Amino acid sequence: MIDSPAVSLLDGKVAVVTGAGRGLGRSHALALAAAGATVVVNDVDLAGATVAAIASAGGRAAADESDVSTLAGAEAVVRRARDEFGRVDVVVNNAGVSRPCPIVELDDAALDLHLGVHLWGTVGTTRAAFPAMAAQGGGRIINTVSGHAFEPTVPRSAAYAAAKGAIFSFTLAAAREGAAHGIRVNAIAPVALTRMSQAYLAAIPDAASRLDPAHVSRVSCGSRPAPPPA
């Protein structure tokens, strides 16, 4: 018996990944491209490098340098996908920031930074994507939360934990609202060795292999065998 050839899950689809210049976001973008999607790679600094990696592997991608810490900036990423590729089928809200700070030193700037990048970014892309996805008959939105939203064990992480907790609640609300339009909204709480998590995950035995960001990306991206002939 000859195995059926593999087919890409996302051929013809357009995906947006925020914060895709490095770490988890870059891994997600590469996985989506490998699964056949055209990817809009968002990052304020390193979008071009991820696009180059996708192109060198034979994929299709475009760089976007919008700042997702405002609703307008986040919406601009989705608009870029629609303007350049005509649709948006997948949004992965990955952009994040962590600036440890004790509660007694929290100020407007610290809170605005965390809530902006995490929550405003997630709400902005979702708000922009909902009408487009509904008109297409559906879509997928994946939001990035964290175990710290539920058990903030890392010191001085109140602002980060609060922002991630807000995304979790928003995801639940968005999932209910999107369901009637065929839009599935889910959240992932990844554990991966990245620049942001290096300080507290690097000591785990075999962390580089066990906590490779690619393991997280494979949760929702990849390929599957083609169906047998009818």
- Active-site residue, from 69, 98, 146, 197: 146
For residue 227, being part of any structural domain is answered with no
Model pTM score: 0.84
For residue 228, being part of any structural domain is answered with no
Q: CA 127, CA 123: separation in Å to the nearest integer?
A: 6
Q: CA 186, CA 199: separation in Å to the nearest integer?
A: 28
> Does residue 13 have an active-site annotation?
no
> 203-229: per-residue pLDDT in tens?
454 544 444 454 445 665 644 433 333
Residue 102 structural domain: 6-220
User: In this structure, are residues 94 and 25 in contact, taking their beta carbons and an 8 Å threshold?
Assistant: yes
> 15-69: per-residue pLDDT in tens?
999 999 988 899 899 999 999 999 999 999 999 999 999 999 999 999 999 999 9
- Active-site residue, from 27, 164, 197, 217: 164
Domain count, the chain: 1
> Does residue 66 have an active-site annotation?
no
Question: Which residues have a Cβ under 8 Å from the Cβ of 56 and sit 6 or more positions away?
Answer: none
- Active-site residue, from 66, 160, 197, 217: 160
For residue 17, being part of any structural domain is answered with yes
Which residue matches tokens 């997280």? 216
User: In this structure, are residues 34 and 59 in contact, taking their beta carbons and an 8 Å threshold?
Assistant: yes
For residue 80, being part of any structural domain is answered with yes
> Does residue 160 have an active-site annotation?
yes
Task: Write the CATH number for 179.
Answer: 3.40.50.720
For residue 1, being part of any structural domain is answered with no
